[in-house]
Chain A
Amino acid sequence: MTQDVPLLELRGVSKVFGAVQALDKVDFVVPAGKVTALAGDNGAGKSVTIKTISGLWEPSAGQILWEGQPVRLHRPKDAEELGITTIYQDLALCDNLDIVQNMFLGHERLRHRLLDETAMELAARKTLADLHVTTIRSIRQPVASLSGGQRQSVAVAKAVMQSAKLVIMDEPTAALGVAQTRMVLDLIKRLSAQGTAVLVISHNLNDVFEVADHLVVLYLGRMVAQGPASEFDRQVVVDYMTTGQSSRAAAAGTDTP
């Protein structure tokens, strides 16, 4: 991490809502082309963090650096223009539109001022194939007919289609069964293999250890641990998530702030 400029870096980011300190001087990095997991218990500040990164809320203090340069994210559009796409749990798909139409929603390709369905379908098909999304029979089927995992895949493919450099996924596996979770985790790995950074918000440690290269743990609005996922074990992360510190980690010599 030290030799490369991280894709995204938060330096002392705080967010205050009235008397509530939601984030307290949070620092962490999201390395380029890797999967970063943002772990934490309920109320740890995971949602506030991603809403800050995606431009929904401006931080009260601190700095956000994108590829080493300080940036200000006033509106979601600012984040989008940098290449940050956030996939919330509701996925923001239109059930009545088919997969191609959803993937290009708001970014339709035109030919003679009319929708160029052929070009869009070919591009969508290629993106899905690159992501190895193979369980979908036809990309002309309405999104309503898809399973939860497939819907998640379409949302991810939509982000890739719009050439996102960082895809933020909010609890992508929360509502999924075992096979569907498997499918989404594979998708996340493939996404990072293609060079897209992924920031996964999760409190499912199985998922976190399965996909994450880099780990950030929040506790009551503070960043309490971060580092390569290989330096953590499950029990240590649980300690950080529940108490904000870990005697086991101190004993093992893991890097903590």
Chain B
Amino acid sequence: MTETVNEDAEPDKAPESDPSTPTAAIAQEQLVALAPDVLADSLGDYMRAWWKRIRGGESGALPIIAGLIGLCIYFEVQSSAFLHAGNIVNLFVQATAIILLGMAELYALILSEIDLSVGYVGAVGAALALALMGTPQNWPWWAAVIVGLLTCAAIGAFQGTLITRLRIPSFVVTLAGLLGWQGVMIAIFNTDKGAVGGVITISNNVITDLVSGNLTTAAGWILFGVGLGIFATTTLFRTARRRSQGLTAPPMSITILTIVAVGVAGAAVVWVCNLNRGTVVAVEGVPWVIPVLVVIVVAQSFLLSRTRLGRYFYAIGASPEAARRAGIKVARIRTIAFALCSLTAGMALIVYASRLGSFSVGYDGGSQVLYAVAAAVIGGASLFGGYGKAIHPVLGGLVIATLTNGLALLSASVAKIDIATAVALMAAVAVDATLRRRSRA
């Protein structure tokens, strides 16, 4: 969705170089205005267009996947425990909270804003939910979760209102939030009678099972089959619809290839999760949190790419003025984005607490914010606004989880892990900045 400018020629210079023959200049323009993937008719064309796109600054997912595979090989060579089923599933679970935080941050990044408070806003929601479902309140888990998430959304809407109505930069509002919501989180721990020594232990089975409960191996395969079936049908159906209307559609080979790739990746995940990873008793099956994550990612992807609201996020991120003139209520849409950001952060922190089985007042929401931004940007979203897809935090979250998990296996110190993550983030931002600058020049 971003700029795919061919760096070999500059559009506006073309006519001036040969003013006597405007038709020649316009023909040259056609070459310049190539938009790769929508033009390709064959597999070969597509590959060429794809390569051009990478050089033009829109690298897509493959370089990150390649990097991920490279990291996995490195860690496996260094420590044979890395590719053990138990560790891989652990890595997936570690990644889910980071992915969700990255998705939260994605809403802010698309709008060309930043939300530094995601770590503690999510923590307020999670702490509230856990306190409500624990003793002595004993709310049903779903009611507690709904209240926790709605609280997060309300906080996001409040911060969004300060940003849009009072025109305070999001950086400042959410920096204050980073501190302020930590205070609120501590207050919840202090008030809750169920919190012992600053720790709320999760007593509810549904919430602990979110991460530690597994689908049966058969259920895992069935769910995977159904999911892949839906994906394949909708993809094929959409391509067929475009073709029948006489519109360009990606070549059939690419559509099939995409479906096969998704199928293979999904099958690999289910297969690894279904291996017995227990040491004493058999532990096998896909953790519940994975299908839950898939549903959230698909829903957010749908929101961003198929609804009017999502379209307006991107429009505002690129040009608030153009959006305003198109009649879009910019302030309201931006506020909604901040509310969605905080809501997703709440989901992330509930998953985080579920993994640990408890939630401690010593939780560090500051470093979680860095993970959130890093996940989105490493995955391919842009810090400069207007660009980013739901898949980006998924890829970025996996990279960060792989880094932290692998380094921990190598018994690296916390210091080393922090530095490695920071370097990965800086590298991703540097790539982002360079590519955006080149495609805008």
| Residues of chain A at the chain B interface (Cβ within 8 Å) | 76-77, 80, 90, 92-98, 101, 105-108, 110, 113-115, 118, 121-122, 125, 135-138, 140-142, 144-150, 175-180, 182-183
Contacts and interface: CB of A to CB of B under 8 A. Distances in A.
17 contacts: A96-B3, A97-B318, A101-B311, A106-B327, A110-B308, A114-B307, A115-B308, A118-B245, A137-B39, A138-B38, A144-B4, A145-B3, A145-B4, A176-B12, A177-B12, A177-B25, A179-B19
Most B CB contacts (10 A, CB to CB) among A98, A101, A121, A178 go to A178
A138 B30 CA distance: 10
A118 B4 CA distance: 22
Contacts of B16: 177-178
B45 to A, nearest CB: 13
B317 interface: yes
Interface in B9-26: 11-16, 19, 22-23, 25-26
Nearest to A92: B322
Nearest to B322: A92
B314 A96 contact: yes
A208 B265 CA distance: 61
Given A105-B328, A147-B32, A97 B1 contact: yes
Q: List the 10 closest pairs (A to B, CB-CB), nearest first.
A: A141-B35, A106-B326, A179-B15, A147-B11, A177-B15, A179-B22, A144-B3, A179-B25, A96-B386, A140-B38
Contacts of B306: 114-115
A142 B2 contact: yes
Contacts of A90: 321
B34 interface: yes
A144 B311 contact: no
Interface in B25-73: 25-26, 29-30, 32-35, 38-39
Nearest to B23: A179
A35 to B, nearest CB: 20
Most B CB contacts (10 A, CB to CB) among A107, A140, A144, A146 go to A144
Nearest to B17: A177
Given A94-B315, A96-B314, A180-B15, A135 B321 contact: no
A216 B47 CA distance: 54
A101 B311 CA distance: 8
Contacts of B3: 95-96, 142, 144-145
Given A105-B323, A147-B14, A178-B19, A97 B315 contact: yes
Contact of B318 (A95, A110, A149, A178): A95
Contact of B247 (A77, A93, A122, A178): A122
B15 A141 contact: no
A107 B327 CA distance: 9
B15 A142 contact: no
Contacts of B318: 94-97
Contacts of B440: 144
A115 B308 CA distance: 6
Contact of A142 (B4, B242, B245): B4
A118 B241 contact: yes
A140 B35 contact: yes
Given A122-B247, A178-B19, A180-B15, A141 B4 contact: yes
A93 B386 CA distance: 13
A95 B38 CA distance: 17
B33 A141 contact: yes
Contacts of B315: 94, 97, 101, 105
Nearest to B302: A114
A118 B440 CA distance: 29
Given A106-B327, A141-B33, A95 B12 contact: no
B439 interface: yes
Contact of B33 (A94, A122, A150, A176): A150
Contacts of A149: 29
Given A108-B308, A145-B33, A177-B12, A95 B241 contact: no
A182 B241 contact: no
A96 B387 CA distance: 7
A105 B325 CA distance: 10
Contacts of B78: none
B307 A115 contact: yes
A106 B4 contact: no
Contacts of A105: 311, 315, 322-323, 326, 328
B319 interface: yes
Contacts of B323: 94, 105-106
B234 interface: no
A94 B22 contact: no
A87 B16 CA distance: 24
B29 A135 contact: yes
B319 A92 contact: yes
A138 B245 contact: no
B386 A137 contact: no
B250 to A, nearest CB: 11
B205 interface: no
B314 A94 contact: yes
Given A96-B318, A150-B33, A108 B311 contact: yes
B306 to A, nearest CB: 5
Interface in B291-342: 306-308, 311, 314-315, 317-319, 321-323, 325-328
A77 B327 CA distance: 8
B112 to A, nearest CB: 10
B30 A137 contact: yes
